Structure 1
Amino acid sequence: MRAAVLREAGHLGVEEIDVPVPGPGEVRVRLRATGVCHTDRTVVEGKMPVPLPMVLGHEGAGVVDAVGGGVTDLAVGDHVVLTITSGCGVCRQCQLGAFALCEVAAPHMLDGRLPNGQRRLTRGAERINHFAMQSSFAEYAVVERRSAVKVPDDVPLDVACLTACGVSTGFGAAVIRAGVGVGETVLVIGAGGVGLAAVLGAVTVGAGRVIVADRSAVACQLAADLGATDIIVGDGDGDGDGDRDGGGDRGGGEDLAARVRALTGGGVDVAIDAVGTAGTAAAAFTALRRGGRAVVIGVADPRAKVSIPLYHLIDQRVLTGSTNGSIRPHVDIPRILDLYRAGRLPLDRLVTRRYPLEGVGQAMAELGVEPGRAVITF
């Protein structure tokens, strides 16, 4: 099968590897579409330590092609989304509902293995590592059954794949982690795919005002088309590559927070940072009203540190983060797609570019340059 294999930093190439065989408790999926995410590019650039060689991709959707022993609730022909939140269901974190923090699965996100510790990718005698427990830049993927979420057959798979990570991350950050309420004012920093999903989440649950900040006027216009009520085209000098740059890392963040507080007469109820630099995270927190909630979901630089005034905590402002929108995948992904099917969540409008697998390099190069989401189709 064809797969995009990273053998050294900066060199992602499509090559032929073996079709994987599912083991007990696993399924094989014939991929039909997979989203292209900034996290993939971060790995290619060598900014995230992973074992090589590795097949990248972590927003896959496709059709079950084979099932391993013990799998009784999925069958060949079922349509599935490959979630990055593969909870075991029984550890303390899963029992508390924090599936993304699963004590069994989460440690394998970057170690090249499936949640059960196995590797199924090979090229002859060579072992190849998995990424995010799925490796969806390939014609086939083998995943643990818990990583495959069954979805309705009438949802286009090039739309459904976005819920594997990006849409779930943004939508869930607004709806689940921040708990945006009817009539609340929301700030979203960064109008890339994840930020736009946060906009859609806030709009869907009835936010009264949704402010979007981004360097790109085109991206801001797309956000407005999706329901944002106010846009701020920022000119900060940040260098974040988490989702998009929405206000800067060295100075621009304070300016953005001041503009938002002036625009709202005191601050927002919820701020979502879909960029993830020290400056944008601080700006999100500073833009809050007293008692507001800031959620950081972008990770432009995992090593960055955020400095905030202590007295803002006394004001009961909250600064937190979220992994994959804090979703319960087998509950929330179908719910998100039901909203799409009902015409209430226009996820298809997020997809602005489609590429063949051989175009994955171009797709990554255009991340943050073109608005919306890129999808690889097979």
Structure 2
Amino acid sequence: MNVKGAVIDRVGGKWAVQELDLVEPGPTEVRIKVMASGLCHSDDHLVTGDIPNLLPMVGGHEGSGIVEAVGSAVTRLAVGDHIATAYLPACGVCNWCAQGMQYICNTGAGMENGFAVDGSPRFRTLDGTPVGAMQRLGTFANYLVTDQAQAVKIDREIPFDVAALVSCGVATGWGAAVNGAGVRPRDTTLVVGVGGVGMNAVQGAAHAGAANVIAVDPVSFKREQAEEMGATHSFASIAEAMPLIHSVTEGQGADNAVLTVGVVDGGLIAEAFAALRKQGTLAVVSIGQNEPGIPISPLELVVYAKQLRGVLFGNCNPTRDIPALLDYYRSGHLRLDELITRRYGMDQVNQAYEDMHAGRNIRGVLVHEH
């Protein structure tokens, strides 16, 4: 099948729309007519090299669409179903899935190659060159083939642009606050970086009952939007937020913090960690480099019994939590329409990421044509 997709072929390059060949679904796979894709910062990491991947690769992992064809062994989905993509697979039977931790499913191994579990590509150029797919999806293409473990059936009433957001950014941010940081009623919660993920950490913290939800971002537009989404206060830096944090916690520090900046370094992790009270929890969502390390005092870590933890996909289970979050949306407890700052066509992907880097978007959405 001939399709179109936005492809990155080298670190530091530009997205280029190409015609591609798409294979037919295998026994456990489905072909999806992709209707919308979130323009997530994680896809930009392919361009910057912050996440090592094998290139060339079709971008996009935050998507929604319609099932067009199913393999002979598919049991979870049927032709015509509306779906949101799950950028992490949920096989349902490995040790981690069996413990309710689908976000670290064993079948996620090897995703950096962009090829299916069997090691073969689902996209090729018209001359036969293999092309990977971001998270084995490639939602920057108007059609894709993926395993049924990476597509979650959703209600047909949900708009596709909204559904796409829940497949990554919303679940990651919401879950980082609720599952990762463990926000509870009356907490003082610090959210550092309020873009497409952090804005949902704000919503999750507010939903969990935090008395003070403090958003930190250098971009004034994002701070304003965070206060619309449930932040009680906003500041340009952690240092500027500390007097307020101390004033509402009797000098103890925040109960918990979520770090959701685009690219993190060890110094920022240490600064957020220092903002916590005794036995506070810092949930780190952001991707960064190993050097020069994280300058946290082991004495502070142990004597104050603080917790530093990584959080992947908000520690959510896609088969349960994607539909649950969409139910929150339908009941008015989760704001999704307001997250979409602008919609783009496939040939505007580079402009979309320029807008993201300039702080003009909370979340851009690519709307596909067929």
Bin the TM-score by the shorter chain. Answer: over 0.9
SS in 2 for 1:57: coil
Letter in 2 for 1:272: V
Going from structure 1 to structure 2, the CA distance change for 1:299 and 1:260 (only over 3 Å counts) comes to: farther
C-alpha distance after superposition, 1:161-217 (max 9, x if no partner): 111111111001111122211121110000111100100111112111100011011
Gaps of 5+ in 2: none
Q: Which amino acid aligns with 1:121?
A: F
The equivalent residue for 2:287 is 299
Distance (Å, rounded) in 1 between the aligned partners of 2:268 and 2:197: 15
More off after superposition, 10-19 vs 287-296 = 10-19
Where 1:11 maps in the other structure, the secondary structure is: coil
Residues 249-268 of structure 1 mapped to structure 2, 5 A cutoff: 255=239, 258-259=242-243, 261-264=245-248, 265-268=251-254
Structure 1 residues 317 and 196: alpha-carbon distance in aligned structure 2, compared to 1, 3 A threshold: same
- Does 2:184 match 1:181? yes
Q: What is aligned with 1:344?
A: 333
1:120 aligns with 2:122: yes
Alpha carbons 2:235, 2:241 under 8 Å: kept: no
What residue is the counterpart of 2:345 in the other structure? 356
Q: Which residue of 2 aligns with 1:244?
A: none
Is the deviation greater in 184-193 or in 44-53? 44-53
* Cα distance change of structure 1 residues 355 and 304 upon mapping to structure 2, 3 Å threshold: farther
SS in 1 for 2:37: strand
Alignment of 1:145-294 (within 5 A): 145-234=148-237, 255=239, 258-259=242-243, 261-264=245-248, 265-275=251-261, 276-294=264-282
Supply the distance in 1 between the matched residues of 2:23 and 2:275 (Cα, whole angstroms).
49
Gaps of 5+ in 1: 235-246, 248-254
Letter paired with 1:266:
Q
Would the alpha carbon gap of residues 325 and 303 (structure 1) be closer, same or farther in structure 2, given more than 3 Å must change? Answer: farther
Contact 1:133–1:143 at 8 Å: present in 2 too?
yes
Superimposed CA distance per residue, residues 323-372 of structure 1 (whole angstroms, 9 cap, x where no aligned partner): 11111100011100100010110111111111001100111111132141
Mapped to 2, the partners of 1:153 and 1:23 lie a distance apart of: 25
What whole-Å deviation, never above 9, does each CA across 1:50-107 have from its counterpart, x for those lacking one? 222211111011111111111133111111011112022222222222222222x222
Worse-superposed segment, 221-230 or 117-126: 117-126
* 2:105 partner amino acid: C
Q: Percent identity?
A: 39
Give the conservation status (yes or no) of the 8 Å contact 1:257–1:286. Answer: no
Q: Match for 1:65: what amino acid? A: E
Q: Equivalent of 1:109, from 108, 111, 121? A: 111
Contact 1:183 1:207 in 2 (8 A): yes
Aligned to 1:367: 356
| Change in 2 beyond 3 A, CA 1:303/1:71 | farther
